[in-house]
Amino acid sequence: MTEEINILKPACPKCGVSKRIPIPGSVFSQKSFGLIKIQVPQGAVCEDHQFIVIADNEARIIGYEAIDVSVSKEEEELLPEMESEIKFPLKYLVHKLGFNSVAGLIHAKLFKYDSFIIRSDESDISLEDLDEYFDNMIPEPYNNSIKIDTISYDDEIFPNPGYFYSLVTNQKTKAFLFNPRKHIVQMPWRTNIYYETHIVNYALERSDPKEQIKVISDSIVRFINDAEFAKTILDNVKKISEKDFMKTLDEKLALTTINKYRMTLIKEFLRRRISVDLIKKIKK
């Protein structure tokens, strides 16, 4: 009998390199509930870093922990004096919050999830600047619809951060939670953030902060156009099979390949942003 293999595709919390790694199904089936932590050694996903991926028993990535988070001098060099209206370069933000937190914040903003930074001290990035940065990526009327918030963590009252995080996840079950140490405490969605990971990496190839925002927002505008077109199809049918729905979209949307993953994102957008009833028209 061949053993089932699950493919995880984690992205390094520090540099964003991502790679598919096969994990034997037995790792997940040993636990009937709870979370599985998988230590990714240096070299397994990216050349330079090791980290921990947290997955649920359906092999879905729900969090990350970085290992060896030290504040380096290069951080200062990442934030040059800037004249532009964009407050910081993407690389600075990735360095400050972690790659997956940045990708996760795009997901949260685009699909309208609450998000909270769990932190113990004042950060040098204000929430206002952070909101503005991400809202710049998202077109009207979908921008400015949800604000990033803070949960303050007092390590004198809660010396064990793990305990504090579990209190917070129990209370905020539907929110995206992360801390500034590149640690993702909870991703509340069931979709993988491959799309966001991809566009962040793509934007990082540019050096101009304005251009970085532009490549991300161009991609998001295209995605929203696809989703709005999908809405018009559903508006005009009583019921449609998933297969026909995908086929119609693929035929009409010349610029996009509609694969299963894109479909999942479109459905999530319609469900979170437009109407849950619309999604019920799609039959398996």
Stretch touching Zn ion by CB under 5 A, among 47-55, 62-70, 164-172, 244-252? 47-55
Nearer to Zn ion, 12 or 168 (CB): 12
Does 46 participate in binding Zn ion (rule CB under 5 A)?
A: yes
Does 14 participate in binding Zn ion (rule CB under 5 A)?
A: yes
Q: Report whether 183 contacts 14 (CB < 8 A).
A: no
Please state the closest distance from residue 263 (CB atom) to Zn ion, in A: 30
Nearer to Zn ion, 19 or 210 (CB): 19
Q: How far is 18 from 183, CA to CA, in rounded Å?
A: 16
Nearer to Zn ion, 15 or 233 (CB): 15
Among candidate residues 196, 210, 181, the one with its CA nearest the CA of residue 89: 210
Among 6, 9, 15, 36, binds Zn ion (CB under 5 A): 15
Does 182 participate in binding Zn ion (rule CB under 5 A)?
A: no
Task: State which amino acid sits at residue 226.
Answer: D
Please state the closest distance from residue 51 (CB atom) to Zn ion, in A: 8
Does 44 participate in binding Zn ion (rule CB under 5 A)?
A: no
Does 12 participate in binding Zn ion (rule CB under 5 A)?
A: yes
Does 193 participate in binding Zn ion (rule CB under 5 A)?
A: no
Among candidate residues 100, 74, 111, 106, the one with its CA nearest the CA of residue 180: 100
Q: How far is 101 from 107, CA to CA, in rounded Å?
A: 10
Among 49, 95, 183, 267, binds Zn ion (CB under 5 A): 49
Stretch touching Zn ion by CB under 5 A, among 7-15, 60-68, 163-171, 201-209? 7-15
Stretch touching Zn ion by CB under 5 A, among 11-19, 53-61, 148-156, 212-220? 11-19
Task: State which amino acid sits at residue 199.
Answer: I
Binding residues for Zn ion, rule: CB under 5 A, are: 12, 14-15, 46, 49
